[in-house]
Structure 1
Amino acid sequence: MTQDRRTFGAETTADDVLDGIDLSDKLALVTGGASGLGTETARALAARGAGIVIAARNVEKGEEAAQTIRDAVEGASVEVIALDLASLDSIRSAAQAFLATHDRLDLLVNNAGVMACPPLKTADGFEMQFGTNHLGHFLFTNLIASALIAAAPSRIVNLSSRGHHRDTVHFEDLHFAERDYDKWQSYGQSKTANILFTVGLDARLKDKGVRAYAVHPGGIVTNLGRHLNDDDVKFLMAQMQKNSGGNAALKSIPQGAATSCYAATAPELEGQGAVYLEDCHVAAVDDENMAGGVRSYALDPDTAEKLWAVSEDLVGDRFAY
């Protein structure tokens, strides 16, 4: 029996979300598809018939994930391209490689990211979390946007996080040149940027049939936490329990991938865009609740336009649609 979609929530899995949805004529590209949520998102989409492109920094791991999907889904079409979001040269090469063989793309899931790393710089000198999580996806998405437009109606899903509650975007010091580096503030800034990017994308592309969504996948143990030590994990769990009134629970990877798959395919989202989703529903704007919701500063269209202009300057490209 098909699950009542109105009951979707924190325990819903990617397969639940996609039950009854036919993606046999669709192509999906998942960044960070070599592990964790990315692999599960790609597998679940492939199980409904979608062709899959995994974009991964480590191509060998990407190929291993691709084979895992092929083993799980009979007849699955999965290919891998190299993409290092911490290098503008790699991003441009990846976009060129994708467009050389594909002129249409139905679903783009910008899943890759880095969380709470030590103070590091990208190949181009950007602060690592802002540079990877936002600027990398900003450039890659815009470079392949022609394929999304060609396949319209199509969708872009940007993985954000409840971590956006931690901070806004500091335009006066994006890269912590003048202030002390704080890995959680940096992560929060990058996750707010993911939502603002979603707002900017949707404003530019909705008239061309491309809609953009930001999602919070939930608390999940994945390779995203590779920079975390035991104290960091204890801190995060304590924060989750505090904010939830003691009812917080980690999600499984299939549960964590559900909201991404929901944003990418849910028929009930037709006509909507520039929204933030959590637990397979559109979240309310809430500037007080630490346990859920989206902060109003992350959806502000004027701030989104400011971020777009700054991002174009930083990557050295202009994008018009």
Structure 2
Amino acid sequence: MSLVSGATGGLGKAIATALAREGGTVVVLGRSEARAEDAIRDIQAVVPNAALEPLASDLSSQASIRSAVDEFHSRHQKLNVLVNAAGVFRKERQVTPDGLEVTFATNVMGYFLLTNLLVDSLKQGASEDDLWTSRVVNIASKYSGGPSVTKIDFDDLQTTKRKYSYMRATPPTMLGRVLLTQEFAERLRGSNVVVNAVHPGLVKNTGLLQDVGGPFRWLTNTLGKPAEEAADTPVWLATSPDTAAVTGKLWAKRKELPTPGMGSDPASRKRLWEECTRLAKIL
């Protein structure tokens, strides 16, 4: 049983398609059930016997995430694989009904809350004989602001004090995903749930940059790799026996990468965890 967020297009859909080929049920999570159903039809066109289920959630909304998880729990007790592949790259600053900046709310809080709410299902999905583990795979980036400036401003997580720009708001959220990956891995040690992050690189024809366009979209579609190729490492982490005991790492092309910037600081990942816990009202 797998669940893939951001599965209605681009890299997320390619990951969901590859997991469908591996067998088992794949839950396709999208912003609406209609989009999830459209993605299911596309996947079934190339994997005719795929077992797929739609699930709707706006990952910028905590209420929507909680509702989607409740719906998942009404259908299933166990989850073997969670791939967090959803994300946004916003040109202008927007605020969610929770009062959070959309980029931070989706790219960081969405991963944090969805994973937390599914942890018990992931634990139940792991076998008791220690030969198998449940997997969490977080799509992130090694380019989290560049090697000299990779940091999270904990005094301005949501870009309220500085002038907003997508290049100011988005890179710290990619680092945030790496920090949360490490913190989840540490907190879940001994539970048979492993958590890893992936730098997929530039991916062609992703919907992530549609709001921005211009040179970014040109660069991605010119130099990026096909989504099917970019899906290789996430699917390997999600399914391979070779990665069953690996946790808390950042990967690209099936090779471990150094953690960018603040990623080597346990205090930073703990601080981000505590802030996310406060904002999500998790006790």
Rounded to whole Å, the distance in 2 between the matches of 1:258 and 1:185 is 29
Alpha-carbon offset, residue 225 of structure 1: 1.1
Alpha-carbon offset, residue 195 of structure 1: 0.4
Q: Is the 8 A contact 2:28 2:55 kept in 1?
A: yes
1:63 is aligned to 2:43: no
Q: Which residue of 1 aligns with 2:212?
A: 228
Residue 139 of structure 1, aligned match among 105, 113, 122: 113
Q: Which residue of 2 aligns with 1:11?
A: none
Rounded to whole Å, the distance in 1 between the matches of 2:166 and 2:195 is 27
Q: Is the 8 A contact 1:111 1:159 kept in 2?
A: yes
Alpha-carbon offset, residue 119 of structure 1: 1.1
Paired residue secondary structure (2:178): helix
Paired residue secondary structure (2:155): helix
Q: Which residue of 2 aligns with 1:315?
A: 280
Q: Which residue of 2 aligns with 1:268?
A: 242
1:184 is aligned to 2:175: no
Q: Which residue of 1 aligns with 2:134?
A: 154
Q: Is the 8 A contact 1:161 1:217 kept in 2?
A: yes
Q: Is the 8 A contact 2:183 2:270 kept in 1?
A: yes
Rounded to whole Å, the distance in 2 between the matches of 1:230 and 1:249 is 14
For 1:148-186, what per-residue CA distance to the aligned partner results, in whole angstroms no more than 9, with x for missing partners? 000111010011023314442111111111111121121
Paired residue secondary structure (1:117): coil
1:123 is aligned to 2:107: no
Q: Which residue identity is paired with 1:213? A: N
Q: Which moved more, 1:90-99 or 1:117-126?
A: 117-126
Q: Which residue identity is paired with 2:172? A: Q
Q: Which residue of 2 aligns with 1:89?
A: 63
Rounded to whole Å, the distance in 1 between the matches of 2:90 and 2:197 is 20
Written as runs of structure 1 = structure 2, the 5 A alignment for 1:272-287 is 272-283=246-257, 285=258
Written as runs of structure 1 = structure 2, the 5 A alignment for 1:206-245 is 206-221=189-204, 222-233=206-217
Rounded to whole Å, the distance in 2 between the matches of 1:223 and 1:314 is 27
Paired residue secondary structure (1:214): strand
TM-score by length of 2: 0.91
Q: Which residue identity is paired with 2:279? A: L
Q: Which residue of 1 aligns with 2:129?
A: none
Paired residue secondary structure (2:23): coil
Q: Which residue identity is paired with 1:215? A: V
TM-score by length of 1: 0.81
Paired residue secondary structure (1:261): helix
Q: Which residue of 1 aligns with 2:271?
A: 306
RMSD of aligned alpha carbons: 1.7
Structure 2 unaligned segments of length 5 or more: list them. Answer: 127-132
For 1:182-221, what per-residue CA distance to the aligned partner results, in whole angstroms no more than 9, with x for missing partners? 2112111100000001011111112110000011111012
Q: Which residue of 1 aligns with 2:130?
A: none
Alpha-carbon offset, residue 116 of structure 1: 4.1
Q: Is the 8 A contact 2:151 2:261 kept in 1?
A: no
Rounded to whole Å, the distance in 1 between the matches of 2:27 and 2:196 is 20
For 1:246-282, what per-residue CA distance to the aligned partner results, in whole angstroms no more than 9, with x for missing partners? xx94201111111211221232223221100012221
Q: Which residue identity is paired with 1:92? A: R
Written as runs of structure 1 = structure 2, the 5 A alignment for 1:69-80 is 69-80=43-54
Written as runs of structure 1 = structure 2, the 5 A alignment for 1:9-88 is 27-88=1-62
1:193 is aligned to 2:167: no
Q: Is the 8 A contact 1:214 1:274 kept in 2?
A: yes
Q: Is the 8 A contact 1:30 1:38 kept in 2?
A: yes
Rounded to whole Å, the distance in 2 between the matches of 1:299 and 1:58 is 37
Structure 1 unaligned segments of length 5 or more: list them. Answer: 1-26, 238-247, 286-293
Overall identity of the aligned pairs, in %: 32
Alpha-carbon offset, residue 103 of structure 1: 0.6
Paired residue secondary structure (2:144): helix
Q: Which residue identity is paired with 2:177? A: N
Rounded to whole Å, the distance in 2 between the matches of 1:173 and 1:133 is 16
Q: Is the 8 A contact 1:122 1:132 kept in 2?
A: no
Q: Which residue identity is paired with 2:246? A: Q
Q: CA, structure 1 residues 162+228, in 2 after alignment: closer, same or farther (shift >3 Å)?
A: farther
Q: Is the 8 A contact 1:195 1:299 kept in 2?
A: no
Paired residue secondary structure (2:271): helix
Q: Which moved more, 1:250-259 or 1:296-305?
A: 296-305
